Amino acid sequence: MNDTTTLPPLPDRLSIDPRSPYHNADVFQRDVGIMLNGKERTNVDEYCISEGWIKVSGGKALDRKGNPMQIKLKGTVEAFYK
DSSP string, 44-67: EEEEETTTTEEEEEEEEEE-TTSP
Full domain range(s) for residue 59: 10-81
**Residue 48 main-chain phi, psi, to 5 deg:** -140, 115
What is this structure's pTM? 0.82
pLDDT in tens, 30-45: 899 999 999 999 999 9
- Does residue 63 fall inside a structural domain? yes
The Cα 41–Cα 27 span in angstroms is 18
pLDDT of the residue at 2: 58
pLDDT of the residue at 14: 95
Q: What's the N-to-C CA distance of the chain in angstroms?
A: 13
Q: Which of 20, 72, 77 is nearest to 52 (CA)?
A: 77
- Does residue 2 fall inside a structural domain? no
Structural domains of the chain, count: 1
